[in-house]
C-alpha cells in the first residue's frame, strides 16, 4: 500500500495541530497518531500558556526565560518566543479558545521563575481545552486527514532529503510519500517509570533521528516537575499538581511542618530541595498546602485537581497534598533552526520532540505550549514557501519493514534509552521502562 500527500505531520498535540492549521489550504495534509488524537501531553497540560503582556514586558519575559534555563538557552530562539507570543495568543482567541477572563480582560496567573503574572489559562485544564479547540478547527478543514491508531516507524530518505514515512496501520505496513514531513511526536516521558507523561510518548522522533543520523541536541536536559501527586504503589502515569497552585499561594512543608524552599523558584531548584527533604526524612513525599484558601475559590479555579484528588480520597479544601518530583519535560531533542528545520532537507521537527534551544537546561513554567505554537507556525510559514519548489518523489524500491509492531517498538525504545544513558551521567537503567 502507499499514500501520497503534500505534508505529512506525525503527532496530534498542539504543535502538530497548530502547524497544520497554519499551512496553506491548497495543500493535502495527512496527520497520523499512534493512538487517539487526544492521547498527547498537550491534553494533560494544566497550568496555562505564557505570553508577554505587551511590548514593554518582552525584555522581562526574555530575562525570566534565560534565568530559568541557566542561561544555556539559544538567545535568538528566546527572543522569537517572547516577541511572537502575543500575536499567537490573539490568533487562538480569534479561533475561539475560551481563556479565563477577569474584569473584562484576560486573567493572568504566575508560576515558578516568572517575575510577574503573565500566564493565560482555561481553569486548570488549559491543554485539554486548547486541544479540543484545535481539533475542532482541524476537522473543519477538508484538506486535512487524520489517521489514528497508526504507528510511525521510520522516514524515507533519498540523498539527505526526507521523502515520506513508513507507518503500520491495522497491522499492515505502508508507505506515505510526502514533499515535507513534520515530526511533532512528543517527548520521552513514556520511557520513564516515574513520569507525568502519556505512556505513548516514547521518544519515537529521537529514535528515528538516531537511525538516520539526524542531529540531536542537549539530550541530557530533562526536567522533573516538583509536584506530582504521591500515591503508594502506583505503576501508571503520575497525576500532576499544577505549579499554578503555588502561583496562587500554595505552600510546601516538610515532615516537620516547616517551609523549606521558596515555592516559585525555578522547577529544578524546587525539585532538588524536595529530593533533599525526602532523603533526610525517609518519607517519600512533602506536603503542598492550599487549604487556607476559600473552598469555593479552590473548586472554581482548580476543578480538575480538586476532583482528581477527591477520587483518591483527598479533599484539598481541607488537607494538604502529598507530592514528590516526577519526570515531566524534555528540553533536548532533534536540533532545529529558527524555522524548525532539521539537519535533513524537507524534514521539520516541532514541539517537545524538537530542540529549539529556547528552554536551556530548565524550562520556564508554561513555556511548553507557547513553544509548540510559536515554532510550529514558523515551520508552517517556511513550508508554505518551499513546497512548490519540491518535486514529488517516486519510490523505486519498497523497503523491507519488520511486521512485528511490538518488536519495532521495543527496538525504538531501546535505541533512545541507550542514547540517553550514554549522554547523561545522572540516569541509570532502572529509571526506565524497558
pLDDT at res. 166:
93
**DSSP-derived secondary structure letter, 293:** S
**216-217 β-sheet, strand order:** 216-217, 333-335, 354-355
- 216-217 and 333-335 beta bridge pairing: antiparallel
Q: Which of 267, 301, 363, 378 is catalytic?
A: 267
Residue 351, pLDDT > 70, answer yes
Q: Which residue has better confidence, 104 or 384? A: 384
d(CA 412, CA 77): 29
d(CA 112, CA 118): 11
Residue 279, pLDDT > 80, answer yes
**What digits encode the pLDDT tens for the residues 318-337?**
999 999 999 999 999 999 99
**What digits encode the pLDDT tens for the residues 402-428?**
567 788 889 999 999 999 999 888 888
Structural contact between residues 41 and 195, judged by C-beta atoms closer than 8 angstroms:
no
Percent residues over pLDDT 90 in the chain: 89
pLDDT at res. 285:
97
Structural contact between residues 360 and 218, judged by C-beta atoms closer than 8 angstroms:
no
Residue 1, pLDDT > 60, answer no
Reported confidence tier of residue 396, pLDDT bands at 50, 70, 90 = low
pLDDT at res. 424:
85
How far the first Cα of the chain sits from its last, in Å, is: 32
pLDDT at res. 334:
98
Helix/strand/coil for 120? strand
**What digits encode the pLDDT tens for the residues 295-323?**
999 999 999 999 999 999 999 999 999 99
d(CA 349, CA 415): 19
- Catalytic residue status for 279: no
Helix/strand/coil for 28? coil
d(CA 20, CA 38): 16
pLDDT at res. 425:
80
Structural contact between residues 135 and 14, judged by C-beta atoms closer than 8 angstroms:
no
pLDDT at res. 400:
65
- The grid coordinates listed for 357 are 534551544
Q: Note the pTM of the prediction, 2 decimals.
A: 0.95
For residue 195, the cross-strand partners are: 327
* Contacts for 145 with CB less than 8 Å, ≥ 6 apart: 5, 28, 29, 30, 31
Q: How many CB atoms lie within 10 A of CB 248?
A: 18
pLDDT at res. 170:
86
Structural contact between residues 433 and 190, judged by C-beta atoms closer than 8 angstroms:
yes
Q: Report the residue count for the chain.
A: 434
d(CA 380, CA 18): 9
Chain mean position to CA 125: 15
d(CA 194, CA 230): 11
Structural contact between residues 427 and 187, judged by C-beta atoms closer than 8 angstroms:
no
Helix/strand/coil for 249? coil
d(CA 60, CA 195): 31
Helix/strand/coil for 259? coil
Rounded to 5 degrees, what are φ and ψ at 197? -85, 165
**DSSP-derived secondary structure letter, 215:** -
**What digits encode the pLDDT tens for the residues 227-254?**
999 998 777 799 999 999 999 999 999 9
pLDDT at res. 399:
63
Amino acid at each position: 500500500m502507499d499514500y501520497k500527500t503534500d505534508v505529512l505531520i506525525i503527532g496530534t498535540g498542539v504543535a502538530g495541530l497548530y502547524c497544520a492549521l497554519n499551512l496553506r489550504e491548497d495543500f493535502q495534509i495527512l496527520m497520523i497518531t499512534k493512538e487517539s488524537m487526544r492521547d498527547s501531553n498537550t491534553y494533560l497540560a494544566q497550568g496555562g500558556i505564557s505570553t508577554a503582556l505587551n511590548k514593554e514586558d518582552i525584555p522581562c519575559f526574555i530575562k525570566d526565560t534565560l534565568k530559568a534555563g541557566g542561561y544555556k538557552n539559544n538567545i535568538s530562539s528566546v527572543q522569537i518566543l517572547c516577541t511572537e507570543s502575543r500575536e499567537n495568543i490573539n490568533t487562538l482567541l480569534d479561533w475561539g479558545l475560551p481563556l479565563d477572563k477577569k474584569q473584562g480582560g484576560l486573567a493572568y496567573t504566575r508560576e515558578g521563575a516568572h517575575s510577574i503574572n503573565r500566564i493565560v489559562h482555561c481553569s486548570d485544564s488549559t491543554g485539554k481545552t486548547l486541544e479540543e479547540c484545535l481539533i475542532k478547527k482541524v476537522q473543519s478543514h477538508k484538506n486535512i486527514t487524520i489517521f489514528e491508531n497508526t504507528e510511525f516507524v521510520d522516514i524515507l530518505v533519498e540523498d539527505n532529503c526526507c521523502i515520506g514515512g513508513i507507518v503500520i496501520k491495522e497491522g499492515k505496513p505502508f508507505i506515505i510519500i510526502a514533499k515535507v514531513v513534520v515530526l511533532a511526536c512528543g517527548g520521552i516521558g513514556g520511557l520513564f517509570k516515574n513520569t507525568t507523561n502519556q505512556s505513548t510518548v516514547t521518544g519515537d522522533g529521537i529514535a528515528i533521528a538516531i537511525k538516520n543520523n539526524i542531529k540531536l541536541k542537549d539530550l541530557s536536559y530533562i526536567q522533573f516537575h516538583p509536584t506530582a501527586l504521591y500515591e503508594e504503589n502506583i505503576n501508571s502515569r503520575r497525576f500532576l499538581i499544577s505549579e499554578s497552585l503555588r502561583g496562587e499561594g500554595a505552600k510546601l512543608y516538610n515532615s516537620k511542618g516547616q517551609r523549606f524552599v521558596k515555592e516559585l523558584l525555578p522547577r529544578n531548584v524546587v525539585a532538588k530541595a524536595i529530593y533533599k527533604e525526602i532523603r533526610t526524612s525517609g518519607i517519600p513525599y512533602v506536603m503542598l498546602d492550599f487549604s487556607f484558601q476559600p473552598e469555593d475559590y479552590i473548586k472554581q479555579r482548580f476543578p480538575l485537581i480538586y476532583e482528581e484528588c477527591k477520587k483518591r480520597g483527598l479533599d484539598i479544601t481541607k488537607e494538604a497534598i502529598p507530592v514528590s518530583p516526577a519526570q515531566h519535560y524534555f528540553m533536548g531533542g532533534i536540533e532545529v533552526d529558527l524555522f524548525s528545520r532539521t539537519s535533513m532537507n524537507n524534514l521539520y521537527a516541532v514541539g517537545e520532540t524538537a530542540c529549539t534551544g529556547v528552554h536551556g537546561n530548565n524550562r520556564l513554567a508554561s513555556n511548553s505550549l507557547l513553544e509548540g505554537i510559536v515554532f510550529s507556525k514558523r515551520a508552517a510559514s517556511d513550508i508554505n514557501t518551499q513546497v512548490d519548489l519540491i518535486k514529488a518523489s517516486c519510490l523505486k524500491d519498497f523497503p523491507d519493514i519488520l511486521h512485528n509492531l511490538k518488536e519495532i517498538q521495543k527496538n525504538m525504545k531501546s535505541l533512545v534509552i541507550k542514547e540517553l544513558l550514554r549522554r547523561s551521567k545522572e540516569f541509570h537503567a532502572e529509571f526506565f521502562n524497558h
